[in-house]
Chain A
Amino acid sequence: MMTMLGGEPFLLVSKQEQQNYPLYIRSVPSDSELKFHYTVHTSLDVVEEKVSAVGKVIVDQRELYLGLLYPTEDYKVYGYVTNSKVKFVIVVDSSNTSLRDNEIRSMFRKLHNSFTDVMCNPFYNPGDPIQSKVFDSMVSSMMVQTC
């Protein structure tokens, strides 16, 4: 699970299979961080629900991007699942209306790219927390850009 919290909260989570433990968590503002963690965890249920609903055999990118999971009063949650069932979750503040769907998609795409790069590193064992500096920098830049 990769989590990323945005300044205006912006949380990205990716989880793995059944374990659903976080591989990476990042948030920009340190306040109310627990709240976002909680949100991310609860959103996992929605993610899994969406994933299981996809009964088709062929999975294309459209289905990788799960879209708005559910909007709450404060923030919106977007989900994305990779082919290896690693889930990404982004929590964005609802006041941040400038973020459009396309941008969210592009963010997920970049995350997926970076995540793939991390995976390709032979020194990275799948399931370990992601400690790649490259990944960190990419995530930071993304969060900075949206804030």
Chain B
Amino acid sequence: MDQSPGSAMAAAPAGTFLPLNEQEQRCYSALFTWCQADSAGTLSAARVAELFRASQLPADTLRQVMEVCGAKQQGYFGPTQFQLVLKLLSAAQSGLPVRLESIKGELPLPRFTGMKNYAEDRYPAFSQHGDPRGPHFGGTTGQTQRWAEDRSALRHRENSVEKQQEAQAVSRSPRNSPPASPSNFPMSAYSSQRNGGADTLLSQSVHSPPRSAAQQDGSSPSHRGSRPPVEQHAVARAYSAERLVDHNAEDYPDDPWRITEEQLEYYTNQFKSLQPDLGALILGAVAKDFFTKSKLPIPELSFIWELSDVDRDGALTFREFCTAFHLIVARKNGFPLPESLPPSLQASLVAQDGAPPRPVGEDSFFGVPFALLEKVPVPPEKTEPLISFEETETIQQGKPRVEKQSSVAEMNISKHDVIEEPSQCVSTPKRVGEVQDKCTENTNTVTEIPDLVYKVDPHMRPRSRPRSYSSTSISDVVKKTEVPPTPPPRQQKTHSRASSLDLNKLFQHSSQGLKSTWLTPPPPALPPRPPVTQMQHFTATAEQDSQKALQQPDFADFSKFQEEEKISKQNLSCDATVGAEGSISPKTGVGLSQPLLQKPTRSKHRLESQNLDPSLSSFPAFVSGNKPSQKLSNRQKKEIQMAIRKNRETNAVLARLNSELQQQLKDVHQERIALESQLENLRPVAFV
């Protein structure tokens, strides 16, 4: 800044003149430089907010201070405003009402507690780097520095409980607002978180050496700032044998909630040990086992989980894991658990990659919701991280100096702005539905949710858990998706139709020589061609034996008769009539009764008719003779026996076939019954 703080401080808003004594000047300039976040004349609202908190004044007072100093009108904290602020703070701390009049007189310097680290850390840096703000010290850099250190040492004596309350008070007053929200408020939460833990530690450390095995000595003030992170490292060392690192990260050297690079690396390694894929989730049970090793009490671990599982899916992403781990580390170090997630941790959650958290200005945005600890409308808290996921770019765009400028202006933003923010959340592409739900819900309610994103995410999918209360009947789902039972194994080489079973049996028995005969429904016995020939032989032999008197034609005729009789006996019941007289009729009968054997019978018939005609006339006696009957009976017996044998054979074959078919029929029946029963079993379920 070009102007020297002295001259700038001499000016005053609305023309009032603020005389500053040398002490105040120095103090104010020191504070001013400390609060300056950039080279412009404006101050980091975050730092100013910290100052506010450090002053340990009630919220109302601080509000008044803000109003009076005119920063609101100006939109930012200029040097004049800063002076006024400091003056008013001191006045308030002295018990005077916050008025411009009250600061006219001589006032002690405002007291700030817990600001030592910042002041101390800043000054060496400034002086070393020849900071352009150096001249602001009024040329007495060294002196100012020392003085500032003394000053801050003084401030550090006092402690942070009130600061925390004040932070909360301060945070309550400013309402949340659009991206260009006051950047100073985040610090209230941030430092409240930090102070709650850090200051107790710091205060203790001021008076006594640090508890943990930090490498630094507690006496050196410049190292105090690094102590909390150092202690965290010590705890990290307790987990493994990693070396401690002295240096702190860039912006917040003494921010215990900020994950340093070393820590991040360590967490990454731990994450990989649990889950090789950095993009994957660690399940709740796994994480539980892992964190239980830290020997923290379960309720605390439970609370840490609630803080870190921002999407509430029961599993930890890498970011969430780092957050949880960091909280555990901090807790191990003695930091009391924050009520809500600190902004720096939240920023680490938000960071898309492993980049370190953004500087104050941007963090403030995310920290804003968490600044509102009590009676905070949910949407900002919930949606901030949501927005940050998607709208980081826009946020950063909107952030620029406008943030700081408008920070003061928006301190008095009412709840309406808070409610307006939900409408902005709607624009987040991700989880819009749930965000809207939450927004609408919380426009009606003012809920105290110190915790993080109260996401309504499904347990199943990471980062999204729609609340569906309709319980699906698992059994239904299972049964619906149940693979239909495999059909019964098909019988190979079998057919379902009973009729074709015959074919199967047919093929099976083909080797038995029945193939040709079963092409059609089993016909009766075979055409006895061979028997005929046999009969002929028989008859020939029989006649030769018994009918020597017969002449050849008679022999032939007789043979014919024999054949006919045999045939008739074979094919019919005992209609065979012995003798020529009845031969014709049997022949015809034979011919008629056995259409299947028409051929042979016809042929025989023809033959026999041919033979019989001549024989009929000549041997009527033969027909009725006993001799022929005897001969016939012999032959007949044999023939009959043959026929019987044949019949029995065919009968046996048929019977066997029948039994096999019956068996197959039974099998098929049983299969059908089984299938039907299965169908019955399945049917009622399918309809539910």
Contact = CB atoms under 8 A, between A and B. Distances in A.
Interface of A: 57-61, 64, 82-83, 106, 109-110, 112-113, 116-117, 120-124, 131-134, 137-138, 140-142, 145
A113 B305 CA distance: 16
Contacts, number: 94
B470 A61 contact: yes
Nearest to A108: B469
A132 B301 CA distance: 11
B305 A123 contact: yes
B54 to A, nearest CB: 27
B470 A57 contact: no
A83 B450 contact: no
Contact of B470 (A58, A106, A132, A140): A58
Contact of B305 (A60, A61, A116, A122): A122
Interface string B636-655: 00000000000000000000
B447 A137 contact: yes
Contacts of B447: 137-138, 141-142, 145
B471 interface: yes
Interface string B445-459: 111111100101001
A136 to B, nearest CB: 9
Contact of B449 (A59, A60, A61, A138): A138
Contacts of B483: none
A20 to B, nearest CB: 20
Nearest to B374: A137
Contacts of B433: none
Interface of B: 284-285, 287-288, 298-299, 301-303, 305-306, 309, 312-314, 339, 441, 444-451, 454, 456, 459, 467, 469-473, 475-476, 688
B254 to A, nearest CB: 27
Contacts of B299: 123, 131
20 contacts: A60-B470, A61-B470, A83-B471, A106-B441, A106-B444, A113-B456, A117-B312, A117-B454, A120-B309, A120-B313, A121-B314, A122-B314, A123-B301, A123-B305, A134-B454, A137-B447, A137-B449, A137-B450, A138-B448, A140-B448
A137 B312 contact: no
A82 B299 CA distance: 25
A122 B285 contact: yes
Contacts of A113: 454, 456, 467
A122 B284 contact: yes
A68 to B, nearest CB: 19
A82 B284 CA distance: 22
Contacts of A138: 447-449
Given A57-B688, A59-B470, A61-B470, A133 B449 contact: no
A123 B470 contact: no
The winner among B309, B447, B450, B456 for most chain A CB atoms within 10 A is B447
Contacts of A132: 302-303, 306
A138 B456 CA distance: 14
Nearest to B301: A123
A44 to B, nearest CB: 21
Given A122-B287, A137-B449, 19 more contacts: A58-B470, A59-B470, A61-B469, A61-B470, A83-B471, A117-B306, A120-B284, A120-B314, A120-B459, A121-B302, A121-B305, A121-B314, A123-B299, A133-B303, A134-B306, A134-B450, A138-B449, A145-B445, A145-B447
B467 A112 contact: yes
Given A57-B476, A137-B450, A123 B302 contact: yes
Contacts of A140: 448
Given A64-B469, A112-B467, A141 B449 contact: yes
The winner among A58, A124, A134, A142 for most chain B CB atoms within 10 A is A134
A134 B471 CA distance: 26
Contacts of B314: 120-122
Contacts of A58: 470-473, 476
A107 to B, nearest CB: 9
A124 B302 contact: yes
B448 A121 contact: no
A59 B303 contact: no
B378 to A, nearest CB: 9
Contact of A133 (B306, B445, B456, B473): B306
A122 B313 CA distance: 11
A146 to B, nearest CB: 10
Nearest to A61: B469
